[in-house]
Structure 1
Amino acid sequence: MEIIEGGNPQKKTRIAAVGDIHVKETDHGKWTEYFKNVGREADILILAGDLTDTGHLNEAEILKEELKACSIPIVAVLGNHDFERDQQKTIKKMLESDQIHILDGEAVVINNIGFAGIKGFGGGFGRYMLSMFGEQMFKSFVQEAVDEALKLDRALAHLESNYEEDLKKFVVMHYAPIKETIEGEPHEIWPFMGSSRLVEPINRREVEAVFHGHAHVGTLEGQTSAGVKVYNVARPILQRSHQLQHYIYEV
């Protein structure tokens, strides 16, 4: 866990959140002004996965250069597109810096706000979740979501045990922990959009809010069974339905 102090703790912190920016090899110069503007409008930037379009290292290099225009701390997770070429570990290492925190079961505290991050995984929701039964291939699929939920729980536990009791905790992930924020996507692909297994540590650890992406035709806002707000900040949703470049959350 990293602890980064800064700013006035009495002042409200503005968190900008966006996912699925899908940076391409041809995007050199495209994002500079965007990241400059985010730095003017917010105090922390969340990137909720699918940072690159195809997981190519050249795309990650372009993103690394573009992010130099961003003047505020960045908390990010990787998405399924970043895993496409099995270069996710290299992408994470390329992008990380004192300012940029790529979380994969880790936690970071910035301006007295805690962030825990995972990629997440699929598996479906509620009584339609895939069960740990049958062929080994199905068991492995389900186990991936279980492992991601355990990673999230450990990261949240670190925030609870290493900082003040009233620390506000936020979760960043790529896949959805609830079905409400993927409403709009075809029902046939819901099992690949996220999993209810991810929500248990969110409810139990009293998280303030969750930010995810992945579902480009989903719904901006929902909440867990315990009332935790969940925001699908996939950029296509923000742009198409809300004419936003990023979502702003004030703490």
Structure 2
Amino acid sequence: MRIGILECGTNRPEWAEHGRFVDWFPPLLAQAGQPFDTLAWAASEGELPDSPDACDAWLLTGSPASAVDDAPWQIDLSGFLSQVVGRQPVIGICYGHQHLHRMLGGRVEERHVWGVGVQTYALETLPDWLPAGIATASEDGFDLIALHHDQVTRPAPQTRTFAGSAFCPYGVTQIGSHILTFQDHPEMDPAFAALVYDFERHRIGGAATDAALATLDRPRDTGLAARWIMAFLVHHREERT
């Protein structure tokens, strides 16, 4: 399976040692134990595939940009995705989750409180494409790193919500049959999250930043998120076959 990663933002130059956003996803997905390879495009810099058939599935990364904006690259990204949606599976992570919901008729709004720290999304229901062994491991939901100021406040039509919280009701969703999204960051390293929290302390607020930093040593369900993502992609590959 070839997964096309559409990189929706760039890292700050002084944080280059942590890699590009696109670099974090192969190690994450490898935790699922399924064979795959990746290709990447810097979508936020105007780079997009020539054809939706360049890959078997697509993944949108996080971004420092706001999904409520309509920058030229965001409009172009939506144009590309309009050729993909309903035809190939798509994964949206944080910004990608928001972009897909807004593009498909949902609403994204800036909230007065940031989503930061390791957040818990309680499981509401299980998808029918999830293998039984993974379903058993998912009974408590997801604990994952959050980093967002915007949030989906009205999901796109034909959305199923699998997990969420009082603060973020639409934490893990499926839009239609071909799109799976996570508001939180299963790919993000705690050290990088701490760096960003401190950088944004003046916007997040001192007390909220300290509280978020204190959660980063908690266990996280990154492997579980990887298994959900790959199970979704494998399901669609087998369905097409």
Structure-2-length-normalised TM-score: 0.34
Structure-1-length-normalised TM-score: 0.33
Higher strand share: 2
